[in-house]
Amino acid sequence: MVSYRVLGYITTYKLPGLSKYALKSLSGVVDKIVYAIVDYQESNEDLFSECFDLSDEVIKYRSNIGYCKAINVALSYAIEEGYDFVLVLNSDAMINQDTIPEIISHMDTCKHIVAQPMIVKIDEHGNKTDLLDCAGIMFEYGENMSFERGYGKFVSRWIGKKIDEIPEVVDEVPAVSGAVSVYNLRAVKRVGYLWERLWSLCDEMEYGWRAYKHGYRCLYVGTVEGYHFRCYSCLCNVVSKELERLWRSLEWRNTTLIYRRHGSEYQIRKTYECLCPIIKENTFPRICVEALVNDNLYREMEKKVRELFISAGVSSVC
């Protein structure tokens, strides 16, 4: 039997939220649990006491460093400490005891860089209500599940399907959800870390695309489940309007950055032709679409995003 070491890493924004449930779900599953708090404030120290007790190590970031940088810290830490895998879990997500062993049993460390289970939404009573982040990410237009010929916006595969309509399959996919994901550190050493310029959102697609170019694949393991409350921190009103506005804008801007970095001329042109007719003029999404093929609008897009970062108090990213 092959032995391996797994680091469990949970990150939360400002407040603990549902972190204690995420942390409890890792007990006895991983070799070490690291709990990271982004935009930590001393005044909230008492609120974290239970979460601190459930963690083996706590990392406190005094500023909002963004999702990508927070995950990169975990990957770097795990590599330095000699771990084989990192389980990245959202603070509003949970897993079963058999989720990680099952996922790793399907991963070929010479081929698969990151994997996810089937992820379902649960309510406050623990009841399954919907399918989320389902079976990897694909292109909304063009050939589904294809990096060479796919184009358009990125969406979840099988979006709109009900839980009982999804087969329990194990598939290679373009990218996986960051809510519950297992990274193979052998592959990470070759491909590198998440692209911090994205800060947050769409980073999974960029990483999957970059890994694909290095000969690696992402894996969907639908034989086990993960659970996600989805955007709990937003519901708790800990996210400012400025930060929410930044997040909404980043989805479009980051998609443009990813296509300009990885897409072929064909993919960029087809994406532009597909999205332009359905996006209103004189809006930020339209600027991002135009920025695919127009360098002047690309610079305007980046200028507007820098202003949004500063408005949201994340000026260190600019």
In single-letter form, the type of residue at position 219 comes to L
Domain extents in the chain: 6-235, 241-317
Which of the residue ranges 9-13, 217-221, 245-249, 291-295 would you say has the lowest mean pLDDT? Answer: 245-249
- Per-chain mean pLDDT for the chain: 86
What per-residue confidence (pLDDT) applies to 237?
A: 47
| pLDDT single digits (tens) 99-125 | 999 999 999 989 999 999 988 887 767
For residue 235, pLDDT over 50 is answered with: no
Residue range 286-314: mean pLDDT, rounded: 91
- In CATH terms, the fold of domain 6-235 is Spore Coat Polysaccharide Biosynthesis Protein SpsA; Chain A (3.90.550)
Residue range 85-109: mean pLDDT, rounded: 93
Tokens 């990150």 — which residue? 11
For residue 232, pLDDT over 70 is answered with: no
Pairing mode, if any, of strands 112-122 and 32-38?
Answer: unpaired
Q: Report which of 111, 249, 117, 105 is spatially closest to residue 179, judged by C-alpha positions.
A: 117
Residue scoring higher pLDDT (44 or 204): 204
Which of the residue ranges 70-74, 139-143, 191-195, 308-312 would you say has the lowest mean pLDDT? Answer: 139-143
Residue range 279-301: mean pLDDT, rounded: 93
Residue range 286-306: mean pLDDT, rounded: 94
* Measured CA angle at 254 (ends 8, 181), to 5 deg: 20
Q: What is the DSSP string of the chain?
A: -----EEEEEEEESS-TTHHHHHHHHTTTSSEEEEEEET--GGGGGGGHHHHHT-SEEEE-SS---HHHHHHHHHHHHHHTT-SEEEEEETTEEE-TTHHHHHHHH--TTTEEEEEEEEEEE-TTS-EEEEESTT-EEEEESSTT-TTT-EEEEEETTTT--GGGS---EEEESB--SSEEEEEHHHHHHH----GGG-SSSHHHHHHHHHHHTT-EEEEEEEEEEEE--SHHHHTT-S-HHHHHHHHHHHHHHHHHHHHHH--HHHHHHHHHHHGGGS-TTSHHHHHHHTTT-HHHHHHHHHHHHHHHHHTT-GGG-
CA distance 260 to 122: 36
Residue scoring higher pLDDT (238 or 84): 84
Tokens of 136: 């990897």
What per-residue confidence (pLDDT) applies to 233?
A: 46
Residue 4, C-beta contacts closer than 8 angstroms, at least 6 positions apart: 84, 85, 104
Pairing mode, if any, of strands 180-184 and 112-122?
Answer: antiparallel
Band the pLDDT of 304: cuts 50, 70, 90: very high
What per-residue confidence (pLDDT) applies to 105?
A: 95
Residue range 54-64: mean pLDDT, rounded: 89
In single-letter form, the type of residue at position 5 comes to R
For residue 1, pLDDT over 70 is answered with: no
CA distance 118 to 99: 10
| pLDDT single digits (tens) 239-284 | 678 777 887 889 899 999 999 999 999 999 999 999 988 889 889 9
Tokens of 303: 């200028």
| pLDDT single digits (tens) 173-228 | 888 988 899 999 999 999 999 999 998 888 999 999 999 999 999 999 989 989 88
Residue range 221-240: mean pLDDT, rounded: 69
Question: Contact, 181 vs 212, CB < 8 A?
Answer: no
In single-letter form, the type of residue at position 195 comes to W
